[in-house]
Amino acid sequence: MAIQNYSRPTSEAEAAALFAADPGACALAGGTDILIQERAGKPVGTLVDVKHIPGLMEIAWSGEGVRIGAAVPCAALTADARLNELFPGLVEAIELIGSVQIQSRCSVGGNLCNASPAADTTPALLVNLATAIIVGPKGERQLPVTEFTKGPGKTVLRSGEFLTALTLPLPEPNRSDAALRLIPRTEMDIAAANAAVSLGLDEAGHCSGLRLAIGAVGPTAVLIPEAGAQLEGRPLDENALEELAELARAAAQPIDDKRGTVEYRRHVIGVLAQRAAVKAKQRVERGDE
Ligand SMILES: Cc1cc2nc3c(=O)[nH]c(=O)nc-3n(C[C@H](O)[C@H](O)[C@H](O)COP(=O)(O)OP(=O)(O)OC[C@H]3O[C@@H](n4cnc5c(N)ncnc54)[C@H](O)[C@@H]3O)c2cc1C
């Protein structure tokens, strides 16, 4: 790997100054995307290793939710008992990434910042109302993850800014989530389509505050707000599931490529939306949330 420069800041301010001084500088978390990009000939500027900044490698729980440091390796997240208990769908999305070896290095922050339309954790972040904590030369700002990705490889990060953490509010009682994807091969592939659902059940067992997000079928993963509105207070029966699939298909803007045609992806995203909703509901009913 022909890296010219490497810096290891130990504070957010030091990192922000490094990014501001060198517009080509690149945050290094696990490096699992950077390595591939460098090998593909993409110029990689100064690597700013963010893993030694306090908080970037920490998972912190509070009465309000969880703060996941932007560089925490995925393996540490899947080993976190509370994350498994409260956000099983996010954990299953993380477990989709690559392999055990890749998960021991890669981060959810890197998965988001890399801004691949097929990033497997993004739909699960969207349905769990994740907020991006961003630090730059002007200090800290917070942004819902719904606004973070602008297109393939593009984020809202401005010159000098980097992601320090993702925060997720605690889910209310009787709510759980699920995430699914389809890949053309059985191992190590990129999603042809992926989807996540977070849903609550009211006392009657009907949908409450359902959230559906889809990915790999458009330039960015998207939350589909109409899904929650349309299914509010209704049982998740055959009709509701068909409407959910139709909403997912309508929101999808897939492309044709070696992983599937437009038509195939549009069909699959509807199926994934339905199955993720059923899985999340079953988790609530079993008390897995
Ligand atoms: C073999 C293999 C299989 C894979 N399989 C999958 C898969 O199934 N699903 C999937 O979604 N992905 C997959 N990936 C992609 C990859 O592992 C993820 O995108 C990973 O989560 C990126 O995290 P990282 O910490 O390695 O990021 P890095 O490679 O360190 O960084 C990725 C990008 O994000 C930027 N970045 C990182 N952290 C920050 C920050 N804190 N602030 C600002 N910018 C930042 C970097 O500058 C870089 O541009 C695979 C990769 C490999 C090599």
Task: Kindly report, residue by residue over 162-176, the tens digit of the pLDDT.
Answer: 999 999 999 999 999
pLDDT beyond 80 at 22: yes
At 197 the three-state DSSP class reads strand
Q: How far apart are CA 83 and CA 98, in angstroms?
A: 20
User: Is 18 found in the same domain as 130?
Assistant: yes
CB of 182 closer than 6 angstroms to any ligand 1 atom: no
Q: What is the pLDDT of residue 23?
A: 87
What is the pLDDT, as a whole number, of residue 289?
55
pLDDT at 149: 98
Q: What is the CATH number of the domain that holds 258?
A: 3.30.390.50
End of a domain among 169, 198, 233?
Answer: 169
Q: Which of 124, 151, 169 is the last residue of a domain?
A: 169
Asked if 82 and 158 sit in the same domain, the reply is: yes
Q: Which two tokens stand for residue 250?
A: 């309508």
Check whether residue 100 and residue 193 sit in a common domain.
no
Instruction: For residues 90 and 190, state if they share a domain.
Output: no
Where does the pLDDT of residue 87 fall: very low under 50, low under 70, confident under 90, or very high at 90 and above?
A: very high
Examine the domain organization and report whether 110 and 210 are in the same domain: no
Tell me, yes or no, whether 97 and 201 share the same domain: no
Binding site membership of 32 for ligand 1 (Cβ less than 6 Å) = yes
With bands split at pLDDT 50, 70 and 90, how would you rate the model's confidence at 54? Answer: very high
Asked whether residue 185 falls in the same domain as residue 271, the answer is yes
Band of residue 186 on the pLDDT scale cut at 50, 70, 90: confident
The rounded mean pLDDT for the chain is 95
Question: Is 1 a domain residue?
Answer: no
30 in ligand 1 pocket by Cβ < 6 Å? yes
Residue 15 domain flag: yes
SS3 130: coil
Final residue in a domain of this structure, among 169, 186, 216: 169
Q: Phi and psi dihedrals of 135, rounded to 5? A: -120, 140
Residues 34, 151 within the same domain = yes
**How many A from CA of 112 to the centre of ligand 1?**
8
Determine the 3-state secondary structure of 251 from DSSP: helix
Q: Quick one: what percent of the chain has pLDDT higher than 90?
A: 89
**Tens-place pLDDT, residues 217-273:** 999 999 999 999 999 999 999 999 999 999 999 999 998 888 889 999 999 999 999
**Contact in structure between 72 and 59 (CB atoms under 8 Å):** yes
Of 68, 74, 83, 75, nearest to 165 by C-alpha is 68
Would you call 280 exposed, middle or buried from its count of C-beta atoms within 10 A (0-12, 13-18, 19+)? Answer: buried
Model confidence band, residue 13 (pLDDT cutoffs 50, 70, 90): very high
Q: Domain tally for the chain?
A: 2
| pLDDT, average across residues 38-63 | 94
Q: Does the pLDDT at position 183 exceed 70?
A: yes
- Whether 163 is in the pocket of ligand 1, judged by its Cβ within 6 Å, is yes
What range defines the domain where residue 222 resides? 175-284
Q: How much is the pTM? A: 0.97
- In short, whether 229's Cβ falls inside 6 Å of ligand 1 is no
| CA 16/CA 135 separation, integer angstroms | 7
- One domain, residues 64 and 157: yes
Query: Is the distance from CB of 221 to CB of 149 less than 8 angstroms?
Result: yes
CA of 282 from ligand 1 middle (Å) equals 31
- CATH value at residue 104: 3.30.465.10
Any domain includes 69: yes
Residue 289 placed within a domain: no
Query: Contact at 8 Å (CB) between 208 and 201?
Result: yes
pLDDT average, residue stretch 94-107: 96
Is the same domain home to 59 and 124?
yes
Residues 138, 50 share a domain? yes
Return the pLDDT at 219: 97
130 and 197 assigned to the same domain:
no
User: Is 150 a residue whose pLDDT tops 70?
Assistant: yes
Average pLDDT value for residue range 8-24: 94
Collapsing DSSP states into helix, strand and coil, what is residue 77?
A: helix
CB atoms within 10 A of CB 58: 13
Nearest CA to ligand 1 atom 38: 110
